[in-house]
């Protein structure tokens, strides 16, 4: 059988391999509802501009609504020989309302049609991802508030650096997620133009009004250049970039959770329902969820790369290469949305092992920098000098297998006789944490305030 939609000038049927490589229905059926909405907006505009009769438009809309309900009820049969979602729907429309269905494609091409569908799909899904990001931020801020004074070691180079609060660590991710969110919001502005009516590439001689269909679909205006409208996919690249950055950010939290639940760290525990077992080692409780979040980032970046490479050097206007934008996009959105949901569940149920984190925070001479700061303040010496003094203090403590806070005043004085008992008394682990009051610093007071502010903002 020749293709029903475009087979007029063909004398033989399409090779089945070409049919197979050409078909996108396996994945672009995800666009079905957007395609129907786009068609309704288009046909309504055609009738308002007296390009088709009102009665014809009504019939087409009625047929499209019937198809919508068939799809919703899973009664719609997608056919590979009809290639893509656009022709599957148009073909079914013809079956339902007869040859009048053929008027739907007046002043339109699948090129502007698919570009419109993708933009509608992006709008919907970006808004959905934004909601999921906010959920995760809330869970992080809530957990941060519960742990505003839970002490843990802060790391640089994965070496214990300085004590921080667990709440502070969690709020760090609330901040990066808010930038992730704002990137999506920015992208919605650039998405706010409608390609419909660009037709194949050149526009059309029918007296259409693209502002009507753009408005009906919730766009602020039509895209200004018909070639750009059908050939650009930078909005998909932008979304994939935003998804990649977001997934990289949460992969870092995933990695930390994987470290924290290991018996070496044992900083946090996950409930049974968020861990998995081993088929051979009966004792195991594995953080598979976090591991998969970590790895999904690779998959999402792969999708971004795929589309970069598809688009690089592609001449204007439409080429079938553009059909390859969909699978990476759909997969990336699904992967990221699932990752955020899993991360939200993990964060809301994670239990910090407070004692263990506190013990760890005291290891690794983590208060050395703060002792150096105290020396600067008490002895009025340059920081470089106090850095050196505390360096020898650490070396002495290490050789003698002692913690810095265990050293006696005599031991301090042996290293530098200016050190007084009042100075040594200031060296308290708790004071050190509570004094980190600089803006954005880790003191419990700061963290409690920041967590409350975030929760207020997120619940508004
Ligand atoms: N399935 C196609 C795509 O996803 C729709 C546009 C087809 N256009 C064409 N001129 N063959 O890009």
Domain containing residue 61: CATH number: 1.10.275.10
What pLDDT is recorded for position 151?
97
* Residue 84 Cβ contacting ligand 1 at under 6 Å: yes
Residues 6+ apart with CB under 8 A from 65: 36
Distance 67 CA to ligand 1 centre (A): 21
* Residue 247 Cβ contacting ligand 1 at under 6 Å: no
Domain assignment of residue 259, yes or no: yes
* Statement: residue 339 has pLDDT above 70: yes
Q: What are phi and psi of 362, to 5 degrees?
A: -85, -10
Kindly indicate the confidence band of residue 294, based on its pLDDT and cuts at 50, 70 and 90.
very high
What pLDDT is recorded for position 1?
60
Distance 449 CA to ligand 1 centre (A): 53
* Statement: residue 2 has pLDDT above 70: no
Domain assignment of residue 316, yes or no: yes
Whether residues 395 and 265 fall in one domain: no
What pLDDT is recorded for position 23?
95
Domain assignment of residue 2, yes or no: no
Query: If you average pLDDT over every residue of the chain, what do you get?
Result: 95
> Is this prediction's pTM over 0.85?
yes
Please give the angle made by the CA atoms of 159, 165 and 166, to the nearest 5 degrees: 85
Domain assignment of residue 212, yes or no: no
Kindly indicate the confidence band of residue 404, based on its pLDDT and cuts at 50, 70 and 90.
confident
- Give CA–CA dist 328/61, Å, rounded: 32
DSSP label at residue 13: P
- Nearest Cα neighbor of 267 from 160, 401, 427, 367 is 160
Average pLDDT over residues 281-293: 89
Kindly indicate the confidence band of residue 282, based on its pLDDT and cuts at 50, 70 and 90.
confident
> Which of the listed residues 310, 334, 359 is the one where a domain comes to its end?
359
DSSP label at residue 231: H
Task: Determine the atom of ligand 1 nearest the C-alpha atom of 114.
Answer: 5
- Tens of pLDDT, residues 123-132: 999 999 999 9
**Which structural domain range is residue 322 located in?**
111-148+164-205+224-359
Distance 87 CA to ligand 1 centre (A): 10
- Nearest Cα neighbor of 406 from 387, 424, 431 is 424
Whether residues 337 and 194 fall in one domain: yes
DSSP symbols for 84-124: SHHHHHHHHHHHHH-GGGGGGGTT--HHHHHHHHHHHHHHH
Write the CATH number for 348.
Answer: 1.20.200.10
DSSP label at residue 276: B
Percent of the chain with pLDDT over 70: 99
Whether residues 338 and 414 fall in one domain: no
Domain assignment of residue 214, yes or no: no
Lowest-confidence segment of 33-37, 47-51, 424-428 by average pLDDT: 424-428
Residue nearest to atom 7 of ligand 1 (CA): 110
- Give CA–CA dist 319/316, Å, rounded: 8
Whether residues 129 and 259 fall in one domain: yes
Q: What is the dihedral of CA 196, 199, 201, 207, to 10 degrees?
A: -100
> Which of the listed residues 337, 359, 381 is the one where a domain comes to its end?
359
What pLDDT is recorded for position 235?
98
* Residue 114 Cβ contacting ligand 1 at under 6 Å: yes
Whether residues 88 and 197 fall in one domain: no
Whether residues 284 and 406 fall in one domain: no
Element spanning 194, H or E: strand 193-194
* Residue 67 Cβ contacting ligand 1 at under 6 Å: no
Domain assignment of residue 283, yes or no: yes
* Residue 233 Cβ contacting ligand 1 at under 6 Å: no
Distance 317 CA to ligand 1 centre (A): 12
Q: Which string of b and e fits 105-126 if b means at least 16 CB within 10 Å?
A: bebbbbbbbbbbbbbbbbbebb
- Give CA–CA dist 144/1, Å, rounded: 64
Residues 6+ apart with CB under 8 A from 189: none
What pLDDT is recorded for position 37?
98
Domain assignment of residue 157, yes or no: no
Whether residues 93 and 133 fall in one domain: no
Whether residues 234 and 334 fall in one domain: yes
Lowest-confidence segment of 53-62, 290-299, 418-427 by average pLDDT: 418-427
The tokens for 266 are 């044992």
Whether residues 18 and 123 fall in one domain: no
* Statement: residue 156 has pLDDT above 90: yes
List residues with catalytic annotation. Answer: 157, 278
- Give CA–CA dist 133/141, Å, rounded: 12
Give, in order, the Cα–Cα distances in Å from 385 to each of 226, 396, 415, 442, 445. 68, 17, 13, 26, 31
* Statement: residue 368 has pLDDT above 70: yes
Percent of the chain with pLDDT over 90: 88
- Give CA–CA dist 3/61, Å, rounded: 24
Task: Determine the atom of ligand 1 nearest the C-alpha atom of 318.
Answer: 10
Tally of domains within the chain: 3
Decide if 340 contacts 129 (C-beta within 8 A).
Answer: yes
Whether residues 403 and 285 fall in one domain: no
320 three-state secondary structure = helix
Mutate which of 7, 114, 230 for ligand 1 pocket (most atoms within 8 A of beta carbon): 114
Domain assignment of residue 332, yes or no: yes
> Which of the listed residues 359, 388, 410 is the one where a domain comes to its end?
359
Task: Determine the atom of ligand 1 nearest the C-alpha atom of 84.
Answer: 1
Whether residues 240 and 383 fall in one domain: no
156 three-state secondary structure = strand
Give the residue, 406 or 383, on which the prediction is more confident. 383
Decide if 119 contacts 228 (C-beta within 8 A).
Answer: no
Decide if 188 contacts 126 (C-beta within 8 A).
Answer: yes
- Nearest Cα neighbor of 395 from 417, 373, 414 is 414
* Statement: residue 286 has pLDDT above 90: no
* Residue 325 Cβ contacting ligand 1 at under 6 Å: no
Residue nearest to atom 3 of ligand 1 (CA): 323
Task: Determine the atom of ligand 1 nearest the C-alpha atom of 322.
Answer: 12
Kindly indicate the confidence band of residue 272, based on its pLDDT and cuts at 50, 70 and 90.
confident
- Give CA–CA dist 454/8, Å, rounded: 62
Distance 86 CA to ligand 1 centre (A): 9
- Tens of pLDDT, residues 43-101: 999 999 999 999 999 999 999 999 999 999 999 999 999 999 999 999 999 999 999 99
List strand residue ranges (DSSP E) for 216-350, in order.
221-222, 268-269
Q: Which string of b and e fits 391-404 if b means at least 16 CB within 10 Å?
A: eebeebbeeeeeeb
Whether residues 270 and 351 fall in one domain: yes
Instruction: Specify which residues 222 forms β-bridges with.
Output: 194
Decide if 120 contacts 193 (C-beta within 8 A).
Answer: no
Distance 77 CA to ligand 1 centre (A): 20
């Amino acid at each position: 059988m020749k293709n029903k939609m475009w087979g007029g000038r063909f004398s033989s049927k399409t090779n089945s391999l070409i049919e197979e490589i050409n078909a996108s229905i396996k994945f672009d059926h995800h666009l079905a509802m957007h395609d129907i909405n786009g068609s309704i907006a288009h046909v309504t505009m055609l009738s308002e501009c007296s390009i088709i009769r009102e009665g014809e438009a009504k019939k087409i809309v009625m047929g499209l609504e019937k198809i919508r309900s068939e799809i919703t009820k899973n009664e719609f049969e997608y056919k590979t020989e009809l290639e893509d979602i656009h022709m599957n729907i148009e073909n079914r429309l013809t079956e339902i309302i007869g040859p009048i269905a053929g008027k739907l494609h007046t002043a339109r091409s699948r090129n502007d049609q698919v570009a419109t569908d993708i933009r509608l799909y992006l709008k919907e899904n970006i808004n959905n991802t934004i909601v999921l990001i906010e959920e995760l931020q809330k869970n992080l801020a809530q957990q941060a508030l519960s742990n505003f004074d839970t002490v843990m070691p802060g790391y640089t180079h994965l070496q214990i650096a300085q004590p921080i609060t667990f709440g502070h660590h969690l709020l760090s991710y609330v901040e990066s997620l808010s930038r992730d969110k704002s990137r999506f919001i920015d992208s919605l502005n650039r998405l706010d133009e409608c390609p419909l009516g660009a037709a194949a590439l050149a526009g059309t001689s029918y007296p259409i009004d693209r502002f009507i269909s753009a408005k009906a679909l919730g766009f602020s205006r039509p895209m200004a250049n018909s070639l750009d409208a059908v050939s650009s996919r930078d909005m998909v690249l932008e979304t994939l970039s935003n998804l990649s950055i977001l997934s990289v950010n949460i992969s870092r939290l995933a990695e930390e959770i994987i470290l924290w639940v290991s018996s070496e760290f044992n900083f946090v525990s996950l409930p049974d329902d968020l861990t998995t077992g081993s088929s051979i080692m009966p004792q195991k409780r594995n953080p598979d969820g976090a591991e998969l979040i970590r790895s999904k980032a690779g998959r999402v970046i792969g999708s971004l790369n795929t589309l970069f490479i598809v688009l690089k050097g592609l001449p204007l206007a439409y080429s079938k290469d553009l059909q390859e934008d969909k699978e990476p996009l759909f997969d990336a959105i699904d992967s990221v949305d699932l990752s955020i949901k899993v991360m939200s569940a993990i964060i809301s149920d994670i239990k910090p092992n407070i004692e263990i984190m506190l013990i760890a925070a005291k290891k690794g001479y983590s208060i050395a920098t703060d002792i150096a700061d105290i020396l600067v303040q008490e002895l009025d010496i340059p920081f470089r000098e106090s850095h050196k003094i505390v360096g020898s203090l650490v070396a002495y403590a290490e050789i003698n297998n002692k913690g810095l806070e265990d050293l006696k005043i005599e031991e301090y004085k042996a290293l530098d006789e200016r050190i007084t008992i009042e100075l040594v008394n200031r060296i308290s682990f708790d004071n050190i944490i509570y004094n980190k009051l600089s803006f954005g610093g880790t003191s419990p007071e700061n963290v409690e305030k920041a967590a409350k502010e975030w929760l207020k903002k997120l619940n508004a």
